[in-house]
């Protein structure tokens, strides 16, 4: 019963957040983000019961049909909205809180072959823009925003906005953060 309740909650959330969604029926039939979550929830069930190969096969079917790759070991909270979705990758040890929005091309990945926790933890009410890469074992705080195309390699405090490559905070608690242009120019010069 929890499975169907969860899927219905996800569908209603999508309809609420996306003005293009005209009905729940349309969401169920036409939204790959919802389809990916259905495949994920089934594969995650098998994963937590140590049926790893079955879990991975189901997740591969989900990837084939939706273009969204969610490892069955990931931990996903309530009401995740994956908008458009193509190219989204969510790694094995990633954790995603409630009411998160992820746009197409986002990667929640690791930075190497380390063992244990190697993917990010995303807090509640986070928005991750198209093409953003969040790489490593750190936390993105609640109510934060990651700009499109940003590459985030270190912890993000709650209520922050991060943009750029590498990602840097431009807003904290609703207040614009001034960036020291001299330091940024030195960082850019060192990488050329």
pLDDT score, position 49: 97
pLDDT score, position 172: 86
Choices 2.160.10.10, 2.60.40.10, 3.30.2130.10, 2.40.30.110: CATH for 1-190: 2.160.10.10
Cα dihedral angle (69, 109, 48, 77), rounded to 10 degrees? Answer: -80
Its pTM stands at 0.86
Give the CB-side neighbour count of residue 31, counting CA atoms within 13 A: 27
What residues in the chain have per-residue pLDDT under 50?
181-183, 185-186, 188-189, 191-192
Q: Give the full edge-to-edge strand order of the sheet including 89-90.
A: 69-70, 89-90, 107-109, 133-135, 151-152
Q: At what angle do helices 2-17 and 32-48 cross, to 10 degrees?
A: 150
Residue 72 phi, psi (nearest 5): -65, -15
pLDDT score, position 179: 66
pLDDT score, position 180: 57
The string of pLDDT tens digits covering residues 67-112 is: 999 999 999 999 999 998 899 999 999 999 999 999 999 999 998 7
pLDDT score, position 190: 53
Distances (CA, A) of 168 to 11, 117, 129, 180, 192: 33, 23, 14, 11, 19
| Nearest C-alpha neighbor of 100 from the set 42, 46, 142 | 142
Relative to beta strand 151-152, strand 160-163 is unpaired
Locate 127 and state its tokens: 């928005």
């Amino acid at each position: 019963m929890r499975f169907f309740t969860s899927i219905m909650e996800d569908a209603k959330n999508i309809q609420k957040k996306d003005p293009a969604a005209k009905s729940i029926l349309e969401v169920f039939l036409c939204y790959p983000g919802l389809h990916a979550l259905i495949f994920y929830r089934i594969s995650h069930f098998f994963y937590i019961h140590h049926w790893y190969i079955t879990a991975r096969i189901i997740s591969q079917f989900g990837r084939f049909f939706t273009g969204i790759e969610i490892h069955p070991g990931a931990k996903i909270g309530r009401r995740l909205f994956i908008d458009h979705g193509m190219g989204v990758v969510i790694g094995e040890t990633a954790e995603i809180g409630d009411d998160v929005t992820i746009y197409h091309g986002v990667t929640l990945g690791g930075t190497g072959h380390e063992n244990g926790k190697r993917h990010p933890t995303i807090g509640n009410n986070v928005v991750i823009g198209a093409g953003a890469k969040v790489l490593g074992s750190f936390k993105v705080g609640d109510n934060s925003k990651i700009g499109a195309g940003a590459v985030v390699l270190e912890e993000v405090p709650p209520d922050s906005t991060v943009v750029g490559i590498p990602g840097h905070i431009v807003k904290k608690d609703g207040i614009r953060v001034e960036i020291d242009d001299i330091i940024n120019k030195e960082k850019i010069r060192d990488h050329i």
